[in-house]
Structure 1
Amino acid sequence: MASQRGRLTMGLVLILLAMTALAGRALQLQAIEAPAYASSAASKIQRAYTLHPDRGQIVDRNGTVLAASEPAVLIFADPLMISRNGIDERVSMGPLETQKAAAAPKAIAKILAKHLGGRPEDYRQMVTKTESDGSLARYALVRRHVPSYTYDLIKKDLAAGKWYGISATQDAVRSYPSGTVASNVIGFVNSEGQGGAGLEYALNKQLAGTEGKESYEASTYGRIPLGRATLAPAVNGTYYTLTLDATMQLTTQKALASAVASTGAESGEAIVMNVKTGEVLAMASMPTYDSSNLSAATSNEMVNHAIQDSYEPGSVQKVLTMAALTDQGLVTPDSRVDVPASISSGGGTIKDAFSHGSLALTARGVIAYSSNIGTTLLTRKMDKATFIKYLKSFGLGATTGIGLPGEAKGSVPTASMPDFTRDQISFGQGLSVTAIQEAAAVAGIVNGGVYHSPTIIKSARNGQGEAVKVPVSTSRRVISAKASAEVRNMMEAVVTLEPSRAVAGYRTIGKTGTAQRIDPSCHCYRGYTASYVGIGPAENPSILTYVVLNNPVKGHEGSGVALPVAQQILSVALPRYGVEPSTSKPPKAVLEYQP
Structure 2
Amino acid sequence: MARDRRKKPKYLFFQGRHWFVLVCLVMGTMALAVRGLYVQVIDNDLLQAEGLERQVRVLKMMPARGKILDRRGHVLAVSTPVDAIWAHPASLRQARADWPRLANTLGMETADIGRILKRNINKGFVYIKRSLSPALASQVAALGVRGVYRQREYHRYYPAGRIAGHLLGFTDVDDRGQEGAELAFENHLGGVVGQKRVRRDRRGHTVENLDQISPVHHGRELQLSIDVRIQFAAHQALARTLVEHKAAGGTAIVLDSRTGEILAMVNLPEFNPNDRSTFNTNVMRNRAVTDIFEPGSTVKPFTLSLALQSGIFTPDTKIPTSPGVLVLDRRRIRDIRDYGVLTLANVLVKSSNIGTAKIALELNPSQLVATLQSVGFGQLTGVELPGERSGVLQSKERWRLSEHATLSYGYG
User: TM-score w.r.t. structure 2 length?
Assistant: 0.82
| Map 1:205-244 → 2, pairs under 5 A | 205-221=187-203, 228-244=210-226
Secondary structure, counterpart of 1:281 in structure 2: strand
Are the structure 2 counterparts of residues 224 and 365 from structure 1 closer, same or farther at C-alpha, using a change threshold of 3 Å?
A: closer
Residue 374 of structure 2: aligned partner = 393
Residue 294 of structure 2: aligned partner = 312
Matching residue within 91, 102, 105 for 2:96? 105
Residue 147 of structure 2: aligned partner = 165
> How much identity, in percent, do the aligned residues show?
26
Are the structure 2 counterparts of residues 127 and 372 from structure 1 closer, same or farther at C-alpha, using a change threshold of 3 Å?
A: closer
Secondary structure, counterpart of 1:196 in structure 2: coil
Are the structure 2 counterparts of residues 227 and 399 from structure 1 closer, same or farther at C-alpha, using a change threshold of 3 Å?
A: closer
* In 2, Cα distance between equivalents of 1:118 and 1:332: 78
* In 1, Cα distance between equivalents of 2:209 and 2:196: 13
Query: In 2, are the aligned partners of 1:55 and 1:209 still within 8 Å (CA)?
Result: yes
Query: In 2, are the aligned partners of 1:79 and 1:129 still within 8 Å (CA)?
Result: no
Are the structure 2 counterparts of residues 51 and 227 from structure 1 closer, same or farther at C-alpha, using a change threshold of 3 Å?
A: closer
State the Cα distance separating 1:79 from its structure 2 match. 4.4
State the Cα distance separating 1:20 from its structure 2 match. 12
Matched letter for residue 50 of structure 1:
K
Between 382-391 and 193-202, report the one with greater CA deviation.
193-202
Matched letter for residue 114 of structure 1:
N
State the Cα distance separating 1:308 from its structure 2 match. 1.9
* In 1, Cα distance between equivalents of 2:228 and 2:87: 42
Are the structure 2 counterparts of residues 187 and 377 from structure 1 closer, same or farther at C-alpha, using a change threshold of 3 Å?
A: same
**2:80 pairs with 1:70:** yes
| Map 1:142-153 → 2, pairs under 5 A | 142-153=128-139
Residue 352 of structure 2: aligned partner = 371
- CA RMSD between the two structures: 3.1
Secondary structure, counterpart of 2:334 in structure 1: coil
State the Cα distance separating 1:403 from its structure 2 match. 0.4
Matching residue within 248, 257, 260 for 1:266? 248
Instruction: Return 5+ residue gaps in structure 1 as ranges.
Output: 1-14, 85-103, 431-595
* In 2, Cα distance between equivalents of 1:130 and 1:145: 20
* In 1, Cα distance between equivalents of 2:338 and 2:408: 20
Are the structure 2 counterparts of residues 225 and 270 from structure 1 closer, same or farther at C-alpha, using a change threshold of 3 Å?
A: closer
* In 1, Cα distance between equivalents of 2:32 and 2:231: 85
Secondary structure, counterpart of 2:65 in structure 1: coil
* In 2, Cα distance between equivalents of 1:24 and 1:77: 36
State the Cα distance separating 1:80 from its structure 2 match. 5.2
Matched letter for residue 188 of structure 1:
F
State the Cα distance separating 1:204 from its structure 2 match. 2.3
Are the structure 2 counterparts of residues 60 and 77 from structure 1 closer, same or farther at C-alpha, using a change threshold of 3 Å?
A: same
Are the structure 2 counterparts of residues 222 and 410 from structure 1 closer, same or farther at C-alpha, using a change threshold of 3 Å?
A: closer
Are the structure 2 counterparts of residues 74 and 231 from structure 1 closer, same or farther at C-alpha, using a change threshold of 3 Å?
A: farther
Query: In 2, are the aligned partners of 1:77 and 1:126 still within 8 Å (CA)?
Result: no
Query: In 1, are the aligned partners of 2:61 and 2:216 still within 8 Å (CA)?
Result: yes
Secondary structure, counterpart of 1:189 in structure 2: coil
Are the structure 2 counterparts of residues 296 and 330 from structure 1 closer, same or farther at C-alpha, using a change threshold of 3 Å?
A: same
Query: In 1, are the aligned partners of 2:120 and 2:126 still within 8 Å (CA)?
Result: no
State the Cα distance separating 1:379 from its structure 2 match. 1.1
Secondary structure, counterpart of 1:365 in structure 2: helix
Query: In 1, are the aligned partners of 2:65 and 2:175 still within 8 Å (CA)?
Result: no
Q: What is the number of residues matched between the two proteins?
A: 383
**2:406 pairs with 1:424:** yes
Are the structure 2 counterparts of residues 21 and 45 from structure 1 closer, same or farther at C-alpha, using a change threshold of 3 Å?
A: closer
Are the structure 2 counterparts of residues 223 and 428 from structure 1 closer, same or farther at C-alpha, using a change threshold of 3 Å?
A: closer
Are the structure 2 counterparts of residues 386 and 299 from structure 1 closer, same or farther at C-alpha, using a change threshold of 3 Å?
A: same
Secondary structure, counterpart of 1:47 in structure 2: strand
Query: In 1, are the aligned partners of 2:106 and 2:140 still within 8 Å (CA)?
Result: no
Matched letter for residue 103 of structure 2:
A
Secondary structure, counterpart of 1:142 in structure 2: strand
- The superposition leaves residues 233-285 of structure 1 with CA deviations (integer Å, 9 ceiling, x where unpaired) of 32111211111111111011001111112211121111211122121111111
* In 2, Cα distance between equivalents of 1:402 and 1:226: 48
- The superposition leaves residues 460-490 of structure 1 with CA deviations (integer Å, 9 ceiling, x where unpaired) of xxxxxxxxxxxxxxxxxxxxxxxxxxxxxxx
Secondary structure, counterpart of 1:381 in structure 2: coil
Are the structure 2 counterparts of residues 193 and 417 from structure 1 closer, same or farther at C-alpha, using a change threshold of 3 Å?
A: farther
Are the structure 2 counterparts of residues 236 and 353 from structure 1 closer, same or farther at C-alpha, using a change threshold of 3 Å?
A: same
- The superposition leaves residues 282-326 of structure 1 with CA deviations (integer Å, 9 ceiling, x where unpaired) of 111112121111312443432222222212233332123223323
Secondary structure, counterpart of 2:178 in structure 1: strand
* In 1, Cα distance between equivalents of 2:129 and 2:308: 64
Query: In 1, are the aligned partners of 2:327 and 2:333 still within 8 Å (CA)?
Result: no
| Map 1:178-577 → 2, pairs under 5 A | 178-221=160-203, 228-341=210-323, 342-345=325-328, 347-356=329-338, 359-420=340-401, 421-430=403-412
Between 277-286 and 192-201, report the one with greater CA deviation.
192-201
Matched letter for residue 63 of structure 1:
G
Residue 120 of structure 1: aligned partner = 110
Matching residue within 108, 119, 126 for 1:140? 126
Larger Rg belongs to: 2
State the Cα distance separating 1:207 from its structure 2 match. 1.9
Secondary structure, counterpart of 1:143 in structure 2: strand
Instruction: Identify, as 1 or 2, the structure richer in helix.
Output: 2
* In 1, Cα distance between equivalents of 2:34 and 2:280: 77
Query: In 1, are the aligned partners of 2:59 and 2:198 still within 8 Å (CA)?
Result: no
Instruction: Return 5+ residue gaps in structure 2 as ranges.
Output: 1-25
Secondary structure, counterpart of 1:195 in structure 2: coil
Are the structure 2 counterparts of residues 270 and 170 from structure 1 closer, same or farther at C-alpha, using a change threshold of 3 Å?
A: same
User: TM-score w.r.t. structure 1 length?
Assistant: 0.59
Residue 13 of structure 2: aligned partner = none
Secondary structure, counterpart of 2:161 in structure 1: coil
- The superposition leaves residues 213-245 of structure 1 with CA deviations (integer Å, 9 ceiling, x where unpaired) of 122233305568678544433211121111111
* In 1, Cα distance between equivalents of 2:38 and 2:279: 71
* In 1, Cα distance between equivalents of 2:271 and 2:405: 40
Are the structure 2 counterparts of residues 23 and 288 from structure 1 closer, same or farther at C-alpha, using a change threshold of 3 Å?
A: closer
Secondary structure, counterpart of 2:281 in structure 1: coil
Matched letter for residue 141 of structure 2:
K
- The superposition leaves residues 183-231 of structure 1 with CA deviations (integer Å, 9 ceiling, x where unpaired) of 1100111334332211112222332211111222333055686785444
Are the structure 2 counterparts of residues 19 and 351 from structure 1 closer, same or farther at C-alpha, using a change threshold of 3 Å?
A: closer
* In 1, Cα distance between equivalents of 2:362 and 2:110: 79
Are the structure 2 counterparts of residues 330 and 293 from structure 1 closer, same or farther at C-alpha, using a change threshold of 3 Å?
A: farther
Query: In 1, are the aligned partners of 2:365 and 2:399 still within 8 Å (CA)?
Result: no
Are the structure 2 counterparts of residues 177 and 130 from structure 1 closer, same or farther at C-alpha, using a change threshold of 3 Å?
A: closer
Matched letter for residue 149 of structure 1:
A
Residue 466 of structure 1: aligned partner = none
